[in-house]
Structure 1
Amino acid sequence: MGARLSYPEVDLKGKVAVVTGGNTGIGYETAKALARMGAHVVIACRSQERAQQAIERIKLELSEAGEVNVEFVQLDLSSLQSARDFTDNFIAKGLPLHLLILNAGIAAVELGRTVDGHEKHFQINYLSHLLITLNLMSVIKSSGPDARIVNVSSYAATFGKFDPSNMDGSQRYSRMGFYGNSKLFQIMSMYFLQRRIAGCGVTISSLHPGAVDTEISRNFQDSTFWKTVTNVVKSVGVLRSPEKGAATTINAAVNPEFKDMEALYFENCKVTQPVRSARDEATQERLWEYSFNLIREYVDTGRLASVGIELPSIPDTENNHEATGSTGEQNLTTTED
């Protein structure tokens, strides 16, 4: 028998939620569920057209529930400037933020760089989401109590590792390995950020949604191997629907049982332990310093200081060349449209 996937229906009237990649797959089902419970939902993705289609679909599917409040704000996770612009645009609305659902991502794509010169999985799945979290942290903290940040990670974190000498894949690269890296970093960021805001009424969690049949599989349709694996998995019926795949995300976001419970990791709507490598505090701290120094110029340091997060020191660039990354723009295929 499959895992029992469930979450409580709670009253979210007056609450505001941001869902990255909320136009499709798990993100769409998450956005719809939060809207059904009464939240004002912001769908953050690249394509306004696809977002508007998702919003109209949500309104149609929830027509019997009455008026729902869902809007679009543009976000391209392959650009740090876009991530900064997104947070500025959200803050300019003057809204609180009770739920930040970091859902969008890509999986097992070919080696390539973002416009900022970073390996695609690293920036789209992890680094831009970290930037968004930092720039919105003061809003989230002021919106509590019981404001929550939820990272949609993956079991693929098991295959990941933090290797500062090969973050861009220039020495060696595997599609699933670097996808796993980005998902590992999402879990590690839960720990290093939660330590820095402990006891402030904001909780951060991570989760594995299960094997879900979503559009993310389009990211590796160029690979005969991965396309075959996907087709075989689909044929034996082990993939969850996006609706069931979203259950763990929604449970982490709304279940009153988890109020004030910090740095929880979920699978099948239950609290469990993530991979051991994600729980090593020394490595978490190295990742924090490494990551922050890549996004420092895009961080609103004044807002960050207001929530008591101490900034890492600026590295010696002569001795930290591995953190600079290469530059160059390439076309991207992502599920955060």
Structure 2
Amino acid sequence: MFGPVWSQYFPPKPTFTAAQHVPPGSQVGKVFIITGANQGIGFELVKMLYPTGATIYLAGRSEERVAAAIKDVIDSQQPATPATLKYLHLDLNDLTTIKGSAAAFAVQEKKLDILWNNAGIGGNPEGTTTKQNIEGHVGTNCVAPLLFTQSLLPQLQEAAKTAPAGSVRIIWTSSLMVETYSPPGGVQYEFLSKGKTTEPKRDYASSKVGNWFLAVEAMKRWEKDGIVSVVQNPGNLKTNIYSHQPRLFMAILNLLLYEPRLGAHTLLFAGFTPEVGIGKNNGGYIRPFGILAPNGRQDLYEAIEKGEATKFWGWCETQYRPYV
């Protein structure tokens, strides 16, 4: 495991770039959703994709913050084929709102080419829980994103009917903490059923294993529809996920953190690399900053083989079933 961990702490510079691989004007007619797009790596990805001419929905809780992010992007660039940037309300902390968010999108769009499930929480030492009393990390990072993704399946399927093979994708977000903090087998349900977080690092890491499990299971279920599903670790980045950490700890940790724009290269690679497609590394794991390579936890691959990804998918469905 040491090799994979080391390579993700100190990844090589990104070689997959917007200028070379997703050039200006290349995505006209495409429709994207990026969750958590008003800050961090989601915002950096929007900036990269703005010259491509796509229609991009920035999904988040605060319309005011998203509007400010959109203004920042528009004011900073004047491309020949600018993307159309739109706000989409999405509150992953409250399952009662998720179907409404997907419905609001469906009113405006018949298809969806790429969904980046980028938004998430982590690092609160006091613990957290969702409005439905689900452990906060797995509820916000896994249960609500799966419901959102399931609700958008008709638009993904519609896009896949006419899009180039392998270009319709769902991108899930993992973390290096999968390797370093997740329990054996990845998910221990007895802790998730207690509502509030009981051990922040373990529970956050479990939610990131959950994202990997959902990526693999989505591939198994929807590859027949022409949909690619992959999971990526964007890298150790200077984002708000560390906002709850002590100053002294952050002074040390900052030596190992990278700028968010580098993590956006991982998202970009996951969305557009030709290294994945239908029957070609679908369900694969992507390391920073755009490297298709295995996760370092062999026990988690064994868990997937034993059906744990299917089990976790079903557990998530049980959590959100009352709100569908």
TM-score category (smaller protein): 0.7 to 0.9
Which residue matches 2:253?
A: 233
Are 1:166 and 2:191 an aligned pair?
A: yes
| Aligned counterpart in structure 2 of residue 87 of structure 1, from 93, 97, 102 | 102
1:103 Cα shift?
0.4
Give RMSD over aligned pairs: 1.9
Which residue matches 1:100?
A: 115
Which residue matches 1:263?
A: 283
- Give, in whole Å, the separation in 1 of the partners of 2:258 and 2:80: 26
Determine which structure has greater relative contact order: mean sequence separation of CA pairs < 8 Å that are 6+ residues apart, divided by chain length: 1
- Give, in whole Å, the separation in 1 of the partners of 2:152 and 2:131: 23
Contact 1:187–1:278 at 8 Å: present in 2 too?
A: no
1:116 Cα shift?
0.8
Where 1:116 maps in the other structure, the secondary structure is coil
- Give, in whole Å, the separation in 1 of the partners of 2:283 and 2:171: 10
Q: Any unmatched runs of 5+ in structure 1?
A: 300-337
1:65 Cα shift?
4.2
After superposition, the Cα gap between the structure-2 partners of 1:277 and 1:93, relative to the gap in structure 1 and judged at 3 Å, is farther
- Give, in whole Å, the separation in 2 of the partners of 1:30 and 1:67: 14
| Aligned counterpart in structure 1 of residue 298 of structure 2, from 276, 292, 304 | 276
Which residue matches 2:87?
A: 72
Which residue matches 2:66?
A: 51
Contact 1:59–1:68 at 8 Å: present in 2 too?
A: no
Using structure 1 for the length normalisation, give the TM-score: 0.82
Which residue matches 1:148?
A: 169
- Give, in whole Å, the separation in 1 of the partners of 2:102 and 2:195: 31
Are 1:291 and 2:309 an aligned pair?
A: no
Residue deviations 1:161-195 (CA, integer Å, cap 9, x gap)? 31122214469821111110111100001111211
**Aligned-partner residue type, residue 289 of structure 1:** G
- Give, in whole Å, the separation in 1 of the partners of 2:133 and 2:32: 30
1:287 Cα shift?
0.9
Q: Any unmatched runs of 5+ in structure 2?
A: 1-9
Contact 2:114–2:168 at 8 Å: present in 1 too?
A: yes
Which residue matches 2:75?
A: 60
1:97 Cα shift?
0.4
Count the aligned residue pairs. Answer: 292
Contact 1:99–1:253 at 8 Å: present in 2 too?
A: yes
Which residue matches 1:325?
A: none
1:258 Cα shift?
2.4
Identity of aligned residues (%): 24
- Matches for 1:6-21 after TM superposition, within 5 Å: 6-7=15-16, 8-10=21-23, 11-21=26-36
Which residue matches 1:316?
A: none
- Give, in whole Å, the separation in 1 of the partners of 2:195 and 2:47: 40
Moved more, 142-151 or 65-74: 65-74
Residue deviations 1:222-248 (CA, integer Å, cap 9, x gap)? xx3xx43222121x3x31111111101
Using structure 2 for the length normalisation, give the TM-score: 0.85
**Aligned-partner residue type, residue 265 of structure 1:** Y
1:4 Cα shift?
2.4
- Give, in whole Å, the separation in 2 of the partners of 1:154 and 1:172: 18
- Give, in whole Å, the separation in 2 of the partners of 1:68 and 1:290: 38
**Aligned-partner residue type, residue 147 of structure 2:** L
Where 1:17 maps in the other structure, the secondary structure is strand
1:113 Cα shift?
1.9
Where 1:256 maps in the other structure, the secondary structure is coil
Contact 2:123–2:201 at 8 Å: present in 1 too?
A: yes
**Aligned-partner residue type, residue 154 of structure 1:** S
1:78 Cα shift?
0.2
Which residue matches 1:210?
A: 235
Contact 2:58–2:87 at 8 Å: present in 1 too?
A: yes
Contact 2:92–2:140 at 8 Å: present in 1 too?
A: yes
**Aligned-partner residue type, residue 9 of structure 1:** V
- Matches for 1:172-251 after TM superposition, within 5 Å: 173-218=198-243, 220-221=244-245, 224=246, 227-234=247-254, 236=255, 238-251=256-269
1:42 Cα shift?
0.2
